[in-house]
Chains A and B, each alone.
Chain A
Amino acid sequence: MTIDLPVIWAAIIGFGVFLYVMLDGFDLGIGLIFPFFDREGERQVMLNTVAPVWDGNETWMVLGGASLYAVFPVAYSVLLPATYLPIVAMLCGLIFRGVAFEIRAKARRTQHLWDLAFIGGSGVATFAQGVILGTLLQGVTVRDGKFAGGAFDWFTPFNLFTGIGLLVTYATLGCGWLLMKTEGELRRRMGVLMRPLTLVLGATVGIVSLWTVLGQPAVAMRWFSRPNLYFFLPVPLLVLACLAGILVSLRRGADRTPFLLTLAILFLGYTGLIISIFPNIVPPSLDIWTASAPRSSQLFTLVGAAIVIPIILAYTALAYWVFRGKVRADDPGYH
C-alpha cells in the first residue's frame, strides 16, 4: 500500500490555513475595531497585545501559500487567476497594514495617517479574503486544468456578502481577544462591543449557510442526504450553542470564554466548508489528486515540513505562553 500523499498534504494545508485564519483573524480584527478607540493610549495598548506574536501569525499565510504552490500547483494556477483582483487588493492591504504597524510608533505628526493605513489595510485585506472564500465556495470555471472564467467572476452578491461576513467574523475575534488581553475601561468597552458583534456574527453565519445550500444543489445533497444529515447536524447546533455561550459568558463578565467560543464558531464554520467541498480543492471539478504536483515534489517537500512544522508549532506556542496575560497601558516590563 502506498501512502496517499495528496490527502496528507491536504490535511497539512487545511490545518495551516485554519491556523492562519484563527491567528491573523484576531489581529486583523484589531484593525477593524481600531476606529472605535482613542488614538492616544488605547490604540497602542491594542497593538501591544499582538506585537510579539503578529509576525508569526502572518507566517502561516506565507507557509500556506508556498506549500499550496509546491504541492498543488494546479490548484494554485487556477485559484489565483480566478481571484486576481481580490488577491492584489489583499496583498496591498497587507502591505499597508504591515508597514503602518511598524511605523505608527515612529510617527508623531503623521500618526493619524498611519492609523488610517492600518484600518484601511486590515479592512481591505479581510474583505478580499472573504471574497476569495466565497469564490471557492461557489466554484470556479475550469477547463483542461486551467482557469476558464472571466476576470470578474468573483464579483457576485454572494461573494461580496462573504466578504462582509469575514469582516464581522474577524472583528468579533479581535474584540474577544482584546477582552481577554486588556483590563479596566478598555476591557469594559470591549465587553459592550462584543454583544452586538456576536449577534451580527450569528446572523451572518446563518445567511451564508442558507445561501450556500439554496444556491448549490451539490452542497445541499451532501448535507441533507441520509445518513450524512445525522453526522453533520451537530455542526449548526454547536454553532447555536456557542453563540448562546458567548452571550451568557459576557453577562457573567468572563475573560476568556467569549474569545474561545468565537474560535469554536470559526472552527465549526471551517469544518462546514470542508464538508461542503472535500475532496475538491477548487470546486466544482478540481480534486486534490488532479491538482497535485508529482509524487517526488510532494515527498521532497514533506521531508522539510515534517521537521519544520513541529518546530514552528512549538515556537508559536512558546511565544503565546511567554506573552500570556493582560497587557496594561503603563506596562513597560511585560515583554
Chain B
Amino acid sequence: MGLFDTLRSVLGVRTDADATREADPEDLFGMSTAYLTMEADLGFAPVGAAALCFSSVDSTDFDATVDDVEEILRAGEAETGTTFYRHEDDHGYHWVVLEDDDPEDLVTSVHFAADTFVERGYGSRLLAAVFGFERARDGTRAYWLYSFRRGAYYPFVPTGGRERDNRLEFKLQSVLDGELDVEDDESYWYPLWPGTDGGHPWT
C-alpha cells in the first residue's frame, strides 16, 4: 500500500477499490465443503434453503436476464429437485430463494444464477448470497453471507429483533477461516435482518 493509499484510508475516502478482492462467482463453490464442516464440527445442519439477493434495474435487458435465470432454474427443477421462488423484500431488494435438502444442489443453483448476472454485465447489481444453517439441539440459526461488494464471506447469527450473537459469529469465523475466504474486518459484517421474527433474511 503506497503512501497515498494510506492517507486515503486514514481519511476514510477509500472506495470499492480496496475491497478484499474482485467478487468471483467461483467463490460460491467454497460453500460445498463449508456445509460439511458446519455440520461435522459445529452441529449446524443445512436449513434446506439458500438465496441470492440483488437490486433490480429498470431495463428490458435486465428483465430478460432474470427471465433466463428463472427459465433454467425451472428446467433444473425436474433434474435436481431444487425448487425456487422470487420474492421482493421491504427494502425493495429482489431475491431468488432456492429450496433443496441437498446443499450441493443449492450451491450449484446459487452459483449458476450469480454467474448469469455477472456474464450479462449485471455483477454490480448482486448484493449477497445467503446460506442458512440450523443447530438441532437449540434451534439456533446461523448464516454464511457472501458479499459481492467485498468478494468475501462473513458469518451472521441473528437472535431475534435486531440482535446478533457476536460470540458465535467469531467462533464460526475461527472454525471456517481458511476453508472460506472470510472477511477479516468485522466492520463490514453487515447484517441482513429477517423481515419477520423467526424468519430468514430472505423473508
Q: Do A and B come from one complex?
A: no
Interface, chain A (partner B; CB < 8 A): none
